Amino acid sequence: MDSDQKLFPSKMIVTTTILVKTTTITHTWQKHNNNMTLAPNRHNNAPRTLTQALIEEYHDQQEQAEFIVLFSAIQQACKNIASAIRTAPLDQLTGLAGTKNSMGEEVKQLDVISNNYFIDALMSCERVCAMVSEEDGEVIQVPKQLRRGPYVVAFDPLDGSSNIDVAVPVGSIFSIYKRRTPSSEEVDLEKDILQNGNSILCSGYALYGSCTTIIVATNKGVNGYTLDPVSGEFVKSHSQIQVPKKGTIYSVNEGNEKTWTPSTQMYVRNKKGDKDKGLSPYSLRYVGSMVADIHRTLFKGGIFFYPADIKSPEGKLRLLYECNPMSFIVEKAGGKAMIGHKEGRVLDFNPKTIHQRCPIYLGSSDDVDEVLECMRQCDQN
Ligand code: AHM
Ligand code: MG
């Protein structure tokens, strides 16, 4: 395989075609064997695709058209990444790329490939004026001739990529902002790129797990669309997702416990239950891919956190393309996303640099309130 093929593997097209053919045959067979239906036929339920949902959601024609084009680029990038991941070990696409990113972290081959898919799709859709990617040290400027668009997109093309070589779910995260400066001017770092999370128009993630699902949050709520290999479309699978008010799971890298603040230590001790106080223990679940951990939290409730600690007082996760998009999703689904009891909401935090980090506690509102209460108590003592 030459290097160009590695950056944009073409094998996915073949894979998709084979998948489509096989599944179509299965469906036809089911249709002609009424008494022997193996699986419910999801096509009876008039599936609504992500594109159809956008048409319904945006009534303003201009906005509708812009969003449809932008989202078809995001969907294409996610389909390409899903396909590359599915056969990565066969295509020698696992392992390191041999370079480091702007934060000095080792980059995986699939990080580079996924980043190229996102940049390529977003550039060519001509609706984006600038991008921020975890994999690029600087803002990615869109060439003038492709810069007709009103949107800024921040993304982490392959989150949790340390899990990729062992076939554990990973994901892509994105958030979309409206450009604030006039299109005749140059894009401005502070006004256009370093926008506060409250200005997000829409954010989402794609989870590449046992199925590929995109979760999309807008001001109208949070919905999920699962990739249907028959049609190649993202079809609505989850409507108006709401995070349970309280859960029974905590999710954190507990190996870092010794470096945490006393309040985080106290909170986790409490989560292990206390017979004398009649408190049952929570379960610990930690995939180590934020997308997978947040996906579970959205549906099952509980709390995910990556706190500040002695090693990294700003936490680990990045504000623009990890914390903000996930906080927007969780809040739109009725949950909470906080930095701390003094620092407040993640979405209120004003970014100063594009790769800024931020401590984060997010999930069910009762669980997030409880950790904030622990912080308050520890501060008083
Ligand atoms: P990445 O963007 O380099 O993959 O790092 C982000 C990931 C998150 O997906 C995950 O929540 C976290 O890092 C795991 O970190 P740790 O291994 O320190 O627990
Ligand atoms: Mg990441």
pLDDT single digits (tens) 267-300 = 999 999 988 888 899 999 999 999 999 999 999 9
Phi, psi at 226, each rounded to 5°: -105, 140
Q: Which pLDDT does position 96 carry in this prediction?
A: 74
For the whole model, what pTM was predicted? 0.88
pLDDT digits (tens, 9 = 90+) for 96-112: 777 777 677 778 889 99
Higher pLDDT pick, 301 / 26: 301
pLDDT digits (tens, 9 = 90+) for 304-320: 999 999 888 999 999 99
Mean pLDDT of 170-190: 94
Q: Which pLDDT does position 9 carry in this prediction?
A: 59
Closest protein CA for atom 5 of ligand 1: 160
Q: Which pLDDT does position 15 carry in this prediction?
A: 35
* Residues contacting residue 250 through CB under 8 Å, at least 6 positions apart: 268, 271, 282, 283, 284, 285, 302, 303, 305, 367
What are the CA-CA distances from residue 339 to residues 7, 282, 297, 317, 361 (Å)?
37, 22, 17, 11, 6
If DSSP codes are grouped into helix, strand and coil, which group holds residue 363?
A: strand
CB 109 within 8 A of CB 6: yes
CA 290 to centroid of ligand 1, rounded, Å? 6
Q: Which pLDDT does position 59 carry in this prediction?
A: 83
Q: Mean pLDDT for the chain? A: 87
Residue 31 — pLDDT band, cuts 50, 70, 90?
Answer: very low
Query: In the chain, what are the domains?
Result: 3-40 (no CATH), 50-238 (3.30.540.10), 249-380 (3.40.190.80)
Mutate to test the pocket of ligand 1, among 111, 132, 162, 318 (most ligand atoms within 8 A of CB): 162
CB 179 within 8 A of CB 187: yes
- Ligand with an atom nearest the CA of residue 305: 1
Written as six digits, the tokens of 205 are 């993630």
